[in-house]
Structure 1
Amino acid sequence: MNRRTALGARVLATATRAEARAYGLRERRVDAGDTTLAVLEGGPADAPAVVLLHGYTADRVVWMRFAKHLVRDHRVVVPELAGHGASGFTSGTGFSAPAQADRVAAVMDALGIKRAHVAGNSMGGFVAATLAVAHPERVASLLLSDAVGVASPEPSEAALLIEQGMNPFFLDDVADFPAFYALTMARPPYVPGFVRAAIATDYVARRDDYEEIFTDLFDVATLDERLGEITAPTLVMWGEQDRLVHPSTAQVWADGIAGARIVRYPDAGHMPMLELPGRTASDYRSFLSRVTADTVTSGR
């Protein structure tokens, strides 16, 4: 790592910590059963809990600007899933959606959270939905944002590349990072060039880790045949410019989960909660208000 890239890494780490503190999020490590996870947590300890799960090769940071709109009246928990970010990677740990869902449940146990509103983007959506199937009593509601875990009616740009043997997530050179980064978002937040270079360097260094995680993640059955088992109120959130998971996939989730509704963002890509944090958080808060009202009305 050259001096400029090293400076970028230090600036990124410092800025991330400062931003988390500004939003009322504190860092801690939490026992997840077979490992410990880095977690951001904020909001009143006795408030309704919201658990936010990031996607494949991402980290807890992608939820921070969304989370700041929730911490006033929710207990917000943002785990860094095993194999990612500061949680670290250990080969053979197991990175499938069921394995990660069990760790999320263990984190909830460690934090004394019996039931939570669970949201997930991409891989995190697969994990969240798996948790809702395996532990329905733990999930008060479900937010699925650009989630993998079901068959897509139409292939995305990334899926077509993978079919051709060119997985866009596997990078051997930092020079390939800009093209990959462009796939992830239609409206990426501003990042200085030297900081983005540090992100690219770290990404390439994790290539072998990401390959093992990818194999584990997609070497399990999809949830297509089990969506009817999900009873939690569900909001499906999707960026219409998503190049990683085709927008047609949103309807698969909504059709399979009773009562699920979709909100679409024409100007967002794969991570609408990062690209449009204020708008998506407002829509999510409205959804949570309806869930709470329905729960009170039904006496549940």
Structure 2
Amino acid sequence: MPEASRTRTRRAPAPPTVAPSSTARPSTAPLPPTDPPPPAWPGAQLPVRGGAVHVRTTPWAGRPGAPRERALYVHGLGGASTNWTDLAALLAVRCEGWALDLPGFGRSSPTPGGSYSVGGHVRAVVEVLEHVRAQPGEAAGRPVHLLGNSLGGLVTLLVAARRPDLVASLTLVSPAMPVYRVPQAFGRALLLVLLPGVPSLAERRLAGVTPEQSVRGMLQMCFGDPARVPRERLDAAVEEMRERTSQAWASRALVRSMRGLITSYLRVGRANAWRLARALRVPTLVVWGDRDRLVDPRLAPRLAAAVPGARLLVLEGVGHVAMLEAPEETARAVLGMLEDAAAEAPAGTSADTAAPEERAG
């Protein structure tokens, strides 16, 4: 991967009732090389309620006697499980990984009925988490480390709030937290997907975009410095986009999931994501690029301050997908959190949380 970028953490004053966040501590653990970038991890279909999702697995690569834990990775809007290839390779020194394609994305078919609500994505993640936790092995039955980006960040936050028994820690990479001002990169036309009949028009327009055009647009929108993307990753992204354009549901999944995301912002009361963030009790890391054009980086200190005990990492020159653009810095911050959480755990206790289960949805 490209040379690691420098990091800088910014801290904003927290509201009087919320404790300030702390700076993320980078781990000094040896990490495997990622140059050349590793290929996409293998995957298979996993049954979930009413259908199946495609899940890629990253084998544990720790040293003998090292902790062997589990992690689940959830991509953002328009992304796929392959977005986590590099970060999963680095975190494999501690965690064997599972990365799913949300329904309608990557190699996952839509659920029957074609629902792309945030609640539907939450249910899919909960089912995969239950599957991962139940797998035989050293970490069987233990909560799983949960990582999400963008839409996947919002989804994983909701999962952690509603099913804390399944979650050992939470890493939020530029999560799509509710905002009430459309990012400039989106443009006003994006709000039209809320109008009846318009989503179908947007789907037809998206279907006419070539894979090369899609990848170029994604790079400009999602990366702080598109020139740093390795040629191997560009070629793989174009090939993946070609595969996606052959899927009849691809444009619909993108547009309808965007609509589901925007409508989720209208939730108030106990269902509001900001309110749920203040109730989180799992170790949490907030990661943001200061060149994020899709989700305002100024939300980073606000979210880190809202989550009790959260850590904050703001990366200079990085855009919306830090796990792709700065995988080593992101991995070291995640590992630092996991190391400290293990050191602080009372002797003789497991990683299980005692919080009661809540029904997801």
Which TM class, normalised by the smaller chain length?
0.7 to 0.9
How far apart are residue 54 of structure 1 and its match?
0.6
| Pair 1:232 & 2:282 matched | yes
Equivalence for 1:108: 129
Give the Cα separation in 1 of the matches to 2:130 and 2:49. 10
Give the alignment partner of residue 29 of structure 1, picking from 26, 45, 48. 45
CA contact (8 A) 2:50 2:112 kept: no
**Greater CA drift, 208-217 or 195-204:** 195-204
The answer as to 2:70 corresponding to 1:42 is no
1:176 to 1:26, Cα distance in 2 relative to 1, 3 A = closer
Cα distance 1:162–1:233, how it changes in 2: closer, same or farther (>3 A)? farther
Q: Which amino acid aligns with 2:253?
A: D
For residues 110 and 164 of structure 2, the distance between their equivalents in structure 1, rounded to whole angstroms, comes to 28
1:281 aligns with 2:331: yes
Aligned with 1:146 (options 160, 174, 186): 174
Q: Please give the alpha-carbon distance, in whole angstroms, between the structure 1 residues aligned to 2:240 and 2:182.
A: 28
1:211 aligns with 2:267: no
Paired residue for 1:6? none
Alpha-carbon spacing, 1:161–1:235, altered in 2? closer, same or farther (3 Å): same
Q: Which residue number corresponds to residue 258 of structure 1? A: 308
2:112 & 2:240 partners in 1: Cα distance?
A: 22
Q: Which runs of 5+ in 1 are unaligned?
A: 1-17
Shift of 1:96: 2.4
Change (3 A) 1:27 1:248: same
For 1:124 and 1:195, how far apart are their aligned partners in 2? 21
Q: CA, structure 1 residues 293+61, in 2 after alignment: closer, same or farther (shift >3 Å)?
A: same
Q: Does 1:179 align with 2:179?
A: no
Match of 1:13 in 2: none
Shift of 1:160: 4.2
Q: How does 1:115-126 map to 2 (within 5 A)?
A: 115-126=143-154
Deviation of 1:76 (Å): 1.0
**TM-score, normalised to structure 1's length?**
0.81
Match of 1:7 in 2: none
**SS of 2:224 mapped into structure 1:** coil
Q: Which moved more, 1:184-193 or 1:82-91?
A: 184-193
Q: Which has the larger helix fraction?
A: 1
Q: Which moved more, 1:154-163 or 1:139-148?
A: 154-163
Retained in 1: the 8 A contact 2:182–2:188?
no
Bigger Rg, structure 1 or 2: 2
How far apart, CA to CA, are the structure 2 residues paired with 1:57 and 1:219?
A: 17
Equivalent pairs counted in the alignment come to: 278
Q: Which moved more, 1:142-151 or 1:182-191?
A: 182-191
Q: In the alignment, what sits opposite 1:4? A: none
Once residues 126 and 150 of structure 2 are traced to their aligned partners in structure 1, the CA distance between those partners, rounded to angstroms, is 19
Residue 230 of structure 2 is matched in structure 1 by 190
- Tell me if structure 2 keeps the 8 A contact 1:150–1:249: no
Structure 2 letter corresponding to 1:290: D
* CA deviation string 1:58-107 (max 9, x = no partner): 00101010110122331211111111010123563422232222212211
**Map of 1:131 onto structure 2:** 159
Instruction: Assess, with a 3 A threshold, how the Cα gap between structure 1 residues 180 and 117 changes in structure 2: closer, same or farther.
Output: closer
Question: CA separation in 2, counterparts of 1:149 and 1:137?
Answer: 23
C-alpha distance in 2 between matches for 1:263 and 1:241: 13
Map 1:69-80 → 2, pairs under 5 A: 69-80=90-101
252-261 vs 195-204, which deviates more? 195-204
Tell me which residue corresponds to 2:88.
67
Q: Secondary structure at the match of 1:157?
A: coil
Deviation at 1:52, TM superposition (A): 1.0
- Deviation of residue 247 (structure 1)? 0.4
Q: What is the letter of the counterpart of residue 291 of structure 1?
A: A
Write the deviation string for residues 116-139 of structure 1: whole angstroms up to 9, x where unpaired: 110100011011101011101111
**Contact 2:122/2:159, CA 8 A, preserved across alignment:** yes
Distance change >3 Å, CA 298–CA 128, structure 1 → 2: farther
Tell me, what secondary structure is at the counterpart of 2:39?
helix
Q: CA RMSD in A?
A: 3.0
Distance 1:39 1:164 in 2: 31
Residues 43, 75 of structure 1: 8 Å contact kept: yes
* Structure 2 equivalent of residue 3 of structure 1: none
Q: Which runs of 5+ in 2 are unaligned?
A: 1-37, 62-66, 136-140, 194-198, 351-361
- Residue 279 of structure 1 aligns to a residue in which SS? helix
TM-aligned CA distance change 1:81 to 1:232, over 3 Å: same
